[in-house]
Amino acid sequence: MEFNNILVSIEDDLAIVTINRPKKLNALNTATIKELHLAFKALQKDNKVRVIILTGSGEKAFVAGADISEFAHFDTKQGGQLAAQGQELLFDFVENLQKPIIAAINGFALGGGLELAMSCHFRIASHNARMGLPEVSLGVIPGYGGTQRLPQLIGKGRAMEMIMTGGMIDVERAIEYGLVNHITSSEELLDFCKNIAKKIAKNSPMAISQAIKAINAGFKNDVDGFEIEINAFGQCFGTDDFKEGTTAFLEKRKASFQGS
């Protein structure tokens, strides 16, 4: 599958998806959102791929925001459709993907870029990363889930301040807030992410997908997360991964999971 705005590479059981619009600081336009959707959908079906790393090309930006030139002339109906389609195609899709996606934030993650990073299952940032939701300075609010995911990750008060000021925070503040899990140098960022990905890939892909489902359920108002966990836990018992994992434990050897 060939793309114009992103790059996809696969190394053993790891996929690296790179947003490749360096002249635009990897800004998200509708074409890039569609390409990312298609790439993640294909990787979801690839049983060899266990973990996905998402990053931006160049050294300046993960994603510096949405491509404002695309929607500056939109009316209210078109604006609502833009948010709804983007959330369905990419941001909600990423959050609920059955395979873990690690955001490797290699510079600016602003507006839609931070919203995309927050959709990923967790985030690792380089020292030069800067994060923020500056939409109110343009007379609009975050529309790709930012008003929902940011409070979930860092708390209501901090999210209110970040969104209402439209300002950026550095990585030290981001890790203090719990917005990112780790900080590393720009040169070591991808290798750092790969090392964590390798640890994840050793575990049961079926169990990881059920864990993602159960954890996400706890942040939805109309869903009983405990009930989802109970059901997901029970489902694990009927799988080859469970048989292999428990047998390996009893036989005092490392489990070898074959994939989902």
Radius of gyration of the chain (CA): 19
Of the listed 135, 172, 187, 244, which one is catalytic?
A: 135
Give the up-direction half-sphere exposure of residue 69: CA atoms within 13 A in the CB hemisphere: 3
Is 11 among the catalytic positions? no
Is 70 among the catalytic positions? no
Of the listed 2, 11, 59, 115, which one is catalytic?
A: 115
Residue by residue, what is the 3-state secondary structure of the chain? CCCCCEEEEEECCEEEEEECCHHHCCCECHHHHHHHHHHHHHHHHCCCCCEEEEEECCCCEEECCECHHHCCCCCHHHHHHHHHHHHHHHHHHHHCCCCCEEEEECCEEECHHHHHHHHCCEEEEECCCEEECCHHHHCCCCCCCHHHHHHHHHCHHHHHHHHHHCCEEEHHHHHHHCCCCEEECCCCHHHHHHHHHHHHHCCCHHHHHHHHHHHHHCCCCCCCHHHHHHHHHHHHCCCHHHHHHHHHHHCCCCCCCCCC
Positions marked catalytic:
115, 135
